[in-house]
Amino acid sequence: MEKPLILVAICNYNHSKYLQESIESIQNQTYDNLDICIVDDGSADQEKVIDLIKNINKSDKRVRLLVNEQNNGKWHCLNSAVESTTATICTSHDADDISLRDRIEIQHNVMVHTQTLHNLCGFYHCWKEDEVQMRKDIVLPKTHNISVIDSKTVSEMVIAGFQHPKINHYFTGGFETAGVSAMFDRDLWKIGFRFNPPSMGLRTMMSEDSDFNFRITSSLRSTSVVAEKLYLYRRNTSTNKELI
């Protein structure tokens, strides 16, 4: 049986320093039927990004580029990538981060096994570059029993977190999920679950990812979580406005 095509949307804004390594972490996934769509959102060095993607595309036709002449925001880029694909399943990945090699395969397998329409995984906080390099080649052994949080439990935790005054992001108790790791059936996007701009008066004012994930979980209750760390999140980049 042929594996379904999965879109990986990589939104880039002034992160060309990390972009090639980020793309390579997706190219090298154990799940290979991918549509890898980079959306450059008006970067200051956009010509450099265009040249990089053209060069990568010569040897890997899965990699393609959408270009915004001006900065429209991550929410706009994600919607553009999903709209442009023929994939039946979609996920994303930040231009300054790294996905472990089996991230997409594991998430897809869990979605199939749990019969859910939406899935997230955990992540490593990487404050220093040596933490990224130390962890980027981690692969869970085939004998490892993947830990999963079922959809009913996820829904209960997320809704409880929403009602808590000190929690304003997608919440799954003591296990942190990477909002950008959301994998979802593209039909959800078709019926209206889109990425919205921040500051629309929605639950999460600064995070398109968390807002999108919360709306799907609370409305459909068809979200599973891979309770494994499959994503490396660089915490010292301009995206996060945080310093080492």
The 10s digit of each residue's pLDDT in 45-74 is 999 999 999 999 999 999 999 999 999 999
Percent of the chain with pLDDT over 70: 93
Q: Which residues, at least 6 apart from 223, have a Cβ–Cβ distance to it below 8 Å? A: 116, 117, 118, 119, 120, 151, 154, 155, 158, 213, 216, 217
Note the pLDDT of residue 78.
Answer: 97
Q: Confirm whether 243 is domain-assigned.
A: no
Q: Confirm whether 19 is domain-assigned.
A: yes
Range of the domain at 15: 6-234
Q: Confirm whether 224 is domain-assigned.
A: yes
Q: Confirm whether 214 is domain-assigned.
A: yes
Q: Confirm whether 201 is domain-assigned.
A: yes
162 has pLDDT over 90: no
* 3-state DSSP of 113-133: HHCCCEEEEEEEEECCHHHHH
- 211 pLDDT band, cuts 50/70/90, is confident
Contact present, 125 and 235 (Cβ < 8 Å):
yes
Note the pLDDT of residue 48.
Answer: 97
Query: Chain-wide mean pLDDT for the chain?
Result: 92
89 has pLDDT over 80: yes
* 3-state DSSP of 16-75: HHHHHHHHHHHHCCCCCCEEEEEEEECCCCHHHHHHHHHHHHHHCCCEEEEEECCCCCHH
Give the total number of structural domains in the chain. Answer: 1
Q: Which of 27, 8, 25, 19 is nearest to 45 (CA)?
A: 19
pLDDT in tens, 164-210: 877 767 889 889 999 999 999 999 999 999 998 876 655 544 577 88
- 33 pLDDT band, cuts 50/70/90, is very high
DSSP annotation of 177: B
CATH code for the domain of 61: 3.90.550.10
Q: Confirm whether 239 is domain-assigned.
A: no
Note the pLDDT of residue 131.
Answer: 96
pTM check: above 0.85? yes
Q: What is the mean pLDDT of residues 124-140?
A: 95
Note the pLDDT of residue 237.
Answer: 82
Note the pLDDT of residue 238.
Answer: 59
Q: What are phi and psi of 77, to 5 degrees?
A: -65, -45
State how far the Cα of 112 lies from the Cα of 114, in Å rounded to an integer. Answer: 6
Q: Confirm whether 220 is domain-assigned.
A: yes
Q: Confirm whether 244 is domain-assigned.
A: no
- 244 pLDDT band, cuts 50/70/90, is very low
